[in-house]
Amino acid sequence: MDFPQAERLRKLPPYLFIEMDKKKKAAIEKGVDIISLGIGDPDLATPDFIIEALYKAAKDKANHQYPLGSGLPKFREAVSAWYKRRFGVTLDSKDEVVALIGSKEGIGHLPIGVINPGDVVLVPSPGYPVYHAGTLFAEGVSHFMPLLEKNGFLPDLDVIPADVLKKAKLIWTNSPNNPTSALAGKDFYTKVVEFAKKHNIIVANDAAYTELYYDGKKPVSFLEVPGAKEVGVEFHSLSKTFNMTGWRIGFAVGNKSVLKALADVKGNLDSGVFNPIQYAGIAALEAPDSVTENIRKIYQERRDLFAAGLKKLGWKFQVPQAAFYFWIKVPNGMSSADWCGKVLEEAGIVATPGNGFGAEGEGYFRMTITVDKARLEEALQRLSKLK
């Protein structure tokens, strides 16, 4: 028997990546050598010392039981110490830090804890699809904020209609941005804090990519701005920083009441992060800066190589200052989806159509640099032959 899906799932936008995945599998079956530049999943290995920390903790039978709670005290203390060292932000590890099963889980669960049916959530477009999905699951209403090139791919808070603001309960911000790689500075976040206080809106800042930056230009934390902790929280992850995407560990920090709502949702829906993975996270957060510096060096070399190659092709894009995404204008007037289909079929390269991140992503496509330089050079060679 086939049973119908819940209405909340039917409200989700079409998942354009499914069709791309079908085309990818069809190409592989034909023997095509696929270069996947579509998914933001690091190809680099998790550092050995992190794996060793997991192994050591996993051998302790005391860590085989339910973890429960908002995370091990030692993990939350490590997060607090890392924030102080990296951003100069002071956090109370007891009630201003919550461990997550990856930041995606926390981003999806937060609206359930703070949004009532009919409440408006301000969502960037293009943006990480989970912002909108989480809103729908909480029976909220998404108001999409266009991220336009003329505004540096940052939302223009001044154009949000007054009637929307009356119902708004939560705003999502994201820097370094996925998919555009745009950066927000303290001036923008200062405006966001003032905006949130004026309209009584919770700020949720997604900061998963702050440690993947280039040319020595460190991204800032939303919580560095005075008053930020009064109105919001920040989500972070070890996935991209330490090549731990599959490990599923992240954290949310900031406003106590918002984090309590998130923790209450999690207490009812999951049993926390496996303790050995938290101990591995502690090892990562306490590691010397040289670990992340080496990772950034690899990505910077890839970024420079790929940017130079794309410029030779004459394609229009802004060189990423952070993250590992290239947000590129479709070069020939085709739709994002049709162009990515062409790139896959004619060049054997997987790219992500921009409209998969929201309506304002139409006319763009995203490529990642999560393959080695030899594969990037091969990709550029293939792209140069596209008609």
Asked if 203 and 228 touch (Cβ cutoff 8 Å), the reply is: yes
Tally the residues of the chain.
387
Same domain, 193 and 112: yes
Same domain, 335 and 310: yes
Same domain, 182 and 201: yes
**263-273 pLDDT per residue, tens:** 999 999 999 99
Q: Which element (helix H / strand E) includes 120?
A: strand 120-125
- Is residue 1 assigned to a domain? no
CATH code of 226's domain:
3.40.640.10
Neighbours of 156 (CB within 10 A): 12
Strand partners, 172: 204
Same domain, 24 and 109: no
Same domain, 177 and 123: yes
Q: What is the pLDDT of residue 30?
A: 86
Encoded amino acid at 246, one letter: G
Q: Look up the pTM and report it.
A: 0.96
Domain stops at, among 240, 260, 288? 288
Q: How far apart are CA 328 and CA 331, in angstroms?
A: 8
Nearest to 347 by CA among 321, 381, 299: 381
User: Which CA distances in Å does 57 have to 8, 52, 61, 356?
Assistant: 40, 9, 8, 40
- Is residue 59 assigned to a domain? yes
Same domain, 259 and 199: yes
Pseudo-torsion of CA 298, 301, 304, 310, nearest 10°?
-80
Same domain, 234 and 184: yes
- Domain of 312 in residue numbering reads as 7-45+290-383
Q: What is the pLDDT of residue 26?
A: 84
User: Which CA distances in Å does 292 have to 299, 303, 334?
Assistant: 11, 16, 39
Same domain, 79 and 157: yes
Nearest to 307 by CA among 316, 298, 297: 316
Same domain, 189 and 302: no
* Domains of the chain: total: 2
Domain stops at, among 243, 267, 288? 288
Same domain, 107 and 254: yes
Q: How far apart are CA 173 and CA 207, in angstroms?
A: 9
Q: What is the pLDDT of residue 92?
A: 98
- Is residue 2 assigned to a domain? no
- Is residue 308 assigned to a domain? yes
Asked if 351 and 344 touch (Cβ cutoff 8 Å), the reply is: yes
Encoded amino acid at 100, one letter: L
Q: What is the pLDDT of residue 21?
A: 74
Q: Which element (helix H / strand E) includes 375?
A: helix 373-383
Domain stops at, among 270, 288, 306? 288
Same domain, 118 and 242: yes
Angle of helix 289-313 versus helix 373-383 axis, rounded to 10 = 20
Q: How far apart are CA 340 and CA 240, in angstroms?
A: 25
Same domain, 365 and 248: no
Which residues in the chain come in under a pLDDT of 50?
A: none
CATH code of 341's domain:
3.90.1150.10
Q: What is the pLDDT of residue 16?
A: 63
Burial of 88 (0-12, 13-18, 19+ CB in 10 A): exposed
